[in-house]
Amino acid sequence: MSSSETSSAPTEKQPTTILCIGMAGSGKTTLMQRLNADLHAKKTPPYILNLDPAVSSLPFTANIDIRDTVNYKEVMKQYNLGPNGGILTSLNLFTTKFDQVLKFVDKRAGSVDHILVDTPGQIEIFTWSASGAIITDTLAATYPTVVAYIIDTPRTTSPATFMSNMLYACSILYKTKLPFILVFNKTDVVSHSFAVDWMTDFESFQQALQQDATYMSSLMNSMSLVLDEFYSHLKVVGVSAVTGEGIDDFFEAVKAATKEYETEYKPEIERLIQEKASQHIQEKEEQHRQQQLSKLMNDMKVSKGTEVPLDSGSKRMEDEQWEEEDEEEYENEDEDDEGEETDDEQENTLLGASRFPPSSSQQQNDAKFKAWLNQANESSMN
Ligand SMILES: Nc1nc2c(ncn2[C@@H]2O[C@H](COP(=O)(O)OP(=O)(O)OP(=O)(O)O)[C@@H](O)[C@H]2O)c(=O)[nH]1
Ligand SMILES: [Mg+2]
């Protein structure tokens, strides 16, 4: 299913899709619950999609739940898979029905402001699988879509872990090519100010690195230069899914990211869709042209009688091999074929006159006529 083939949302009102992506246990589901509660309190309830087939219980009611479509444990049993293979296969099975899912979302799209999407804990299953890409691209082609990359702040305080997490976020940004919000979660445990410091002040991250005397620090030193550019494209917020702290900042960031989607990402997505569509049209036109051509060749074959072996000519046209050498060969073939009944003739539905010899009475009449003509000639000569 390509994104260009999906149904389109109403143009008047477009809800923003928030894809919650993050490492296992970073707090995606808890944050979804918090966002859901906050939006309900503001009387703008969201539309919720749960794409995690392995979650045992959800703290919110999802409008569409992958678990209603596929039974993750059954999938593991049936396909003899481990937990990750089971999640991936479940997601693949669900993706085959995603056009129907989108129809449901479309119906509600006019009356909601946000579509919240929870993803599986095994981050790579969503971000690096074909089905994850299909779901992301399909949503992004239909609604303004932003990625909320959830980070477990207390577990990111060491420079090495911070760097790894940032590199992962960077890879997802380049993979999804969507507006990106870095969400430092669990700020009730540890404030995210150290992270903001490291991201905005290059020197301060260098200082933190210097405390790490291992050989890794020099590698990280050079990598941090690369990440400097990456940071400039991000929106950063600190939240606590448990206490609700920073949720307003989060929605502000979502608003800004939606604008960014409209101005920067949408034109690019539309250009790609058009490119695909025109490629599709070109392929269709070429197919049609080939069909017409072979129809024409068939018609010519039918009307050729028994003399002209057009079929071999048509093959030449298709192969575009009208070289002199070939032409000679072609003429020779014609000569060789004379007087012989070729396969083409047998296939020909308009049979040649030689297939209908004169009847015996006709032959007798012809003989009488010839004899009379000979007689007449002889008498006129005498
Ligand atoms: N203190 C604190 N704990 C949190 C916060 N958000 C989530 N947690 C806890 O972190 C743990 C994991 O939270 P989940 O919401 O299940 O995380 P998840 O990313 O959905 O996990 P997976 O789906 O398994 O990848 C739970 O014990 C939560 O209670 C927070 O803001 N503060
Ligand atoms: Mg979860």
pLDDT digits (tens, 9 = 90+) for 222-254: 777 778 888 887 899 999 999 999 999 999 999
Confidence check: pLDDT of 342 > 50: no
Our mutation pick for probing the ligand 1 site, out of 30, 87, 119, 186, counting the most ligand atoms within 8 A of Cβ, is 30
Average pLDDT over residues 143-161: 94
What CA–CA distance (Å, rounded) separates 50 from 94? Answer: 11
Q: Which of 15-19, 200-204, 363-367 has the highest mean pLDDT?
A: 15-19
Confidence at residue 303, expressed as pLDDT on a 0 to 100 scale: 55
Distance in Å, CA 113 to ligand 1 centroid: 25
Nearest CA to ligand 1 atom 14: 27
Q: pLDDT (tens digit, 9 = 90+) per residue, 177-210? A: 899 999 999 999 999 999 999 998 888 888 887 7
Is the predicted pLDDT of residue 154 greater than 90, yes or no?
A: yes
Q: Is it the case that residue 363 has pLDDT exceeding 50?
A: yes
Ligand 1 touching residue 117 (CB < 6 A): no
Ligand nearest to the CA of 30: 1
As a whole number of angstroms, the distance between CA 308 and CA 46 comes to: 72
Phi-psi region of 233 (alpha: psi -120 to 50; beta: other; left: phi over 0): alpha
Ligand 1 lined by 235 (C-beta under 6 Å) = no
User: What is the position in ligand 1's atom list of the atom closest to the CA of 118?
Assistant: 20
Give the Cα separation of 266 and 259 in Å (integer). 10
Q: Which residue has the higher pLDDT, 130 or 219?
A: 130
Atom of ligand 1 nearest to the CA of 24: 25
242 lines ligand 1 (CB under 6 A): yes
Tell me the C-alpha distance between 89 and 86, whole Å.
Answer: 5
Per-residue pLDDT, averaged over 293-316, amounts to 59
Q: What is the mean pLDDT of residues 359-378?
A: 76
Task: Quickly tell me which residue has 């969400």 as its tokens.
Answer: 183
- Report the alpha-carbon angle 366-372-378, nearest 5: 135
Model confidence at 10: pLDDT above 50: no
- Bigger pLDDT: 245 vs 324: 245
Q: Is 52 in the pocket of ligand 1 (CB under 6 A)?
A: yes
Q: For a pLDDT cut of 90, what percent of the chain falls above it?
A: 51
Taking the model in full, what pTM does it have?
A: 0.72
- Alpha carbon nearest to ligand 1 atom 1, residue: 186
C-alpha to C-alpha distances, 34 to 65, 158, 171, 225, nearest whole angstrom: 18, 27, 27, 35
Ligand 2 centre to CA of 50 (Å) is: 9
Report which listed range, 340-344, 346-350, 359-363, is most confident: 359-363
Of residues 165, 182, 172, 162, the one with CA closest to residue 232? 182
Task: Give me ligand 1 centre to Cα 118, in Å.
Answer: 12
Ligand 1 in contact with 187 (CB < 6 A)?
no
Residue 243 CA, closest ligand 1 atom number? 31
- CA 41, 44, 46, 47: dihedral to nearest 10 degrees? 140
More confident residue, 177 or 46: 46
Does residue 272 have its Cβ closer than 6 Å to ligand 1? no
Q: From the CB of 59, is ligand 1 less than 6 Å away?
A: no
More confident residue, 218 or 311: 218
